[in-house]
Amino acid sequence: ESASLAARVREQIPALRHEGGEAARRWAYLDSAATTLTPQPVIDALSDFYATETGSAGRGGHWRARRSTGRYEAARERVAAFLGAETSASVVFTRGATHALNLIAGGLRGALREGDEVVVSAMEHHANLLPWRALAEASGARLRVLPLNERGELDMDAAEAMIGARTAVVALTHVSNVLGTVNPVDELVAMARQHGALSVIDGSQSVAHRAVDVTTLGCDFFVCSAHKMYGPTGVGVLYGRPEALERLRPVELGGGMMTSVTEEEVVFAELPNRLEAGTPPVAQAVGLAAAIAWMEGFGMEALQRHEEELTAYALGRFEAVEGLEVVRRPRQRSAVIAFGLRGVDAYDLGELLDAQNVAVRVGSHCAHPLVRALGLCATARASFGAYTDRDDVDALIEALMQATHFSR
């Protein structure tokens, strides 16, 4: 089932055909956690929009503006349904997950007091760390960091002890972009709720790989980026429960987010427009809606099963590579694997793999505190998507075997 799914997916990804031309060796693209390759239906949706429907959304009454507005709002509905939001007014389009997290943390300025605590984890991407650090500094709140256990999982006893009466915000990633750990976010959201704290879930690495339902999850905020969901760059989502969104002060001011402006007063628009200053990313939102339709065409459960099977296959095959070290082994994991090769510098390893047409990410993955806590300077990371297949994993293993000859 897994192999046939990947084969069907691959036919729709032009980037997999064009790499280096027909005669070139096949590329193994193992960097989907950084950005996913784009399916033809998404490219078509973008190009059709620009060809036939360009018009500024949310302003202007002529037919082009109306049609563009309709497409934009239909995309919002699609995203809301995909995430399980009760109303599309809960969906704010942003430039990406980073932008969404900055709108939340920035929007809470003034809402936190000295002595309040913001809880993040030791595995956060800088996008879900630095905005909270800035908020804590600006408001006299304390930033607390949930530690990890030796498997690279969140320490749940520490979470019980840390999340309490002083906690104002709990901001955690759903899936680690380095270790692949799938965090028990439902439990953590419940803990936050129990103590009256706002919960923020960074879904950048989860929504394209498993079904997510924000209403069941019960979180206050949830963010993601389209370019990691087979969609275009330049657009992301800030989901918020209506009461939670109401608590955000608009950080960005301009057109489209107000209903009237006089010399004395600005009246802000209703949600979600209040949080979308400026001309919205209409084509990108339409592209994201197409990406969601594309994923749903295969089914999120099928995509998850495919990636789980491939991850188990890769972890098994890694055993055969002398000196290969998988960085942490979380029990609940997604298709993201950090690894190193004993005696080979991580950056050299990246180059050796690249020279063999295997694309992995090397570095500290925008998570410096995590990589430092692991006692490393950098790691290699392989991450899978719907189009990844066993041939890609085999190419990685073969390239790693070659790289062992360079070990010192």
Nearer to ligand PMP, 38 or 128 (CB): 128
Q: Taking CB under 6 A as the rule, which mask of x and - marks residues 287-306 in contact with ligand PMP?
A: --------------------
Nearer to ligand PMP, 202 or 276 (CB): 202
Q: How far is the CB of 21 from ligand PMP (least distance, A)?
A: 30
Q: Which stretch binds ligand PMP (CB under 6 A): 19-27, 125-133, 145-153, 300-308?
A: 125-133
Q: How far is the CB of 224 from ligand PMP (least distance, A)?
A: 8
Nearer to ligand PMP, 202 or 389 (CB): 202
Q: How far is the CB of 205 from ligand PMP (least distance, A)?
A: 5
Among the listed residues 293, 304, 294, the one whose alpha carbon sits nearest the alpha carbon of residue 385: 304
- Residue 206, interface with ligand PMP (CB under 6 A)? no
- Residue 366, interface with ligand PMP (CB under 6 A)? yes
Q: How far is the CB of 56 from ligand PMP (least distance, A)?
A: 24
Q: Catalytic pick from 219, 224, 366, 377?
A: 366
Nearer to ligand PMP, 5 or 92 (CB): 92
Which residues touch 176 (CB under 8 Å, ≥6 apart)?
123, 152, 183, 205, 330, 334, 336, 367, 370
Q: Which of residues 60-99 bind ligand PMP (CB under 6 A)?
A: 96-98
Query: 3-class secondary structure for the chain?
Result: CHHHHHHHHHCCCHHHHHCCCCCCCCCEECECCCCCCCCHHHHHHHHHHHHHHCCCCCCCCCHHHHHHHHHHHHHHHHHHHHHCCCCHHHEEEECCHHHHHHHHHHHCCCCCCCCCEEEEECCCCHHHCHHHHHHHHHHCCEEEEECECCCCCECHHHHHHHCCCCEEEEEEECECCCCCEECCHHHHHHHHHHCCCEEEEECCCCCCCCCCCHHHHCCCEEEEEHHHCCCCCCCEEEEECHHHHHCCCCCCCCCCCEEEECCCCEEECCCCHHHCCCCCCHHHHHHHHHHHHHHHHHCHHHHHHHHHHHHHHHHHHHCCCCCEEECCCCCCECCEEEEEECCECHHHHHHHHHHCCEECEEECCCCHHHHHHCCCCCEEEEECCCCCCHHHHHHHHHHHHHHHHHCC
- Residue 127, interface with ligand PMP (CB under 6 A)? yes
- Residue 128, interface with ligand PMP (CB under 6 A)? yes
Nearer to ligand PMP, 90 or 121 (CB): 121
Q: How far is the CB of 321 from ligand PMP (least distance, A)?
A: 26
Nearer to ligand PMP, 45 or 229 (CB): 229
- Residue 173, interface with ligand PMP (CB under 6 A)? yes
345-375 burial code (b ≥16 CB/10 A, e <16): bbeebbebbeebbbbbbbbbbbbebbbeebe
**Which of 202, 220, 389, 392 is in the footprint of ligand PMP by CB under 6 A?**
202
Look at the block and give the residue holding tokens 């429907």. 53
**Which of 204, 379, 383, 388 is in the footprint of ligand PMP by CB under 6 A?**
204
- Residue 389, interface with ligand PMP (CB under 6 A)? no
- Residue 257, interface with ligand PMP (CB under 6 A)? no
- Residue 125, interface with ligand PMP (CB under 6 A)? yes
Q: Taking CB under 6 A as the rule, which mask of x and - marks residues 208-227 in contact with ligand PMP?
A: -----------------x-x
Q: How far is the CB of 34 from ligand PMP (least distance, A)?
A: 6
User: How many chain residues touch ligand PMP (CB under 6 A)?
Assistant: 14
Nearer to ligand PMP, 188 or 395 (CB): 188
Is 224 considered catalytic here? no
Applying CB under 6 A, the residues found at the interface with ligand PMP are 96-98, 125, 127-128, 173, 177, 202, 204-205, 225, 227, 366
Active site residues: 366
